[in-house]
Amino acid sequence: MLKQLHTKWWKVLCVLLLGYTFIYGLLVEIPNVALLHETVRNLFFHVPCWFAMLLLMLTSLVYSIKYLRTGKTKYDLAAVALLRMAVTFGILGYLTGMLWGNYIWGNLVSWITNDTKILGTAIGLLIYFAYFILRGSIEDEEKRARVSAVYSIFAFILLNVAINVVPRLTDSLHPGSGGNATFTVYELDNHLRMVFYPAVIGYFLLGLWISSIIYRMGRLNYLNNNIPIE
């Protein structure tokens, strides 16, 4: 990301993919999936939010490890910028999921406390909220970056346990959990596949784009405060 901040091709690709997702995603012919019906179109908006969140968190983890290996401040700034967007996509995933749950499961909020995958995601997001609180409580720049990098490694592991391991061992309303059909059952139709995969890529690129802006703002803040950036 740091070397590609000023290139334009991936930003153009991001705009094209998002435009394709929002336009074609609302017009494409979809299969008649039991219970879901027309609401299956939310597959193009809700699920990519979670995929983008996980991909951004994984990218942030890579930069955190790079910081621990090199001690370069730019990697810490990149890691925190990516996590800000990852958490934002997590919140958007919750909001779109609430709308979907209202039509599929019959209630806007009660299923939040009855589904292990949703509870696991909530716990994971709270762990990352604590990450930002921890960063704000440490004044020393080097110590803050080092502690944050170590914390993010454990946070990513705990998040994946909460959303990918525990739900498979218990009952869940989501596909692939609690004995339910896997996600690919809803993805096999070519019409859905033609929109879903570009949506995931587009959302991820959007997250990288905004993260790069946050990163540059962080650099400017450090430079204005005469904090060296390697």
| pLDDT one-digit tens code per residue, 94-111 | 888 777 766 666 665 555
Over residues 38-56, mean pLDDT: 83
As a whole number, mean pLDDT of residues 130-152 equals 92
Give the model's pLDDT for residue 181: 44
Report the percentage of the chain scoring pLDDT > 70.
73
Its domain, for residue 65, covers 6-224
Mean per-residue pLDDT over the chain, rounded: 81
pTM: 0.85
pLDDT tier, 173 (very low <50, low <70, confident <90, very high otherwise): low
- Domain count for the chain, please give it: 1
Does the residue 17 lie in any domain? yes
Q: Is 97 among the domain residues?
A: yes
For residues 25 and 18, what is the distance between their CA atoms, to the nearest angstrom? 10
134: in domain? yes
What value does the mean pLDDT take over residues 72-89?
Answer: 94
Name the more confident of 124 and 175: 124
216 or 106: which leads in pLDDT: 216
Whether the predicted pLDDT of 86 surpasses 90: yes
1 located within any domain: no
152 is a domain residue: yes
Q: Which helix (H) or strand (E) holds 210?
A: helix 190-224
| Structural domain contains residue 229 | no
Taking the C-alpha atoms of residue 109 and residue 102, their distance in angstroms, rounded to an integer, is 8
Angle at 23 between CA 21 and CA 28, to 5 degrees: 85
Distance of CA 24 to the CA centre of its chain: 23
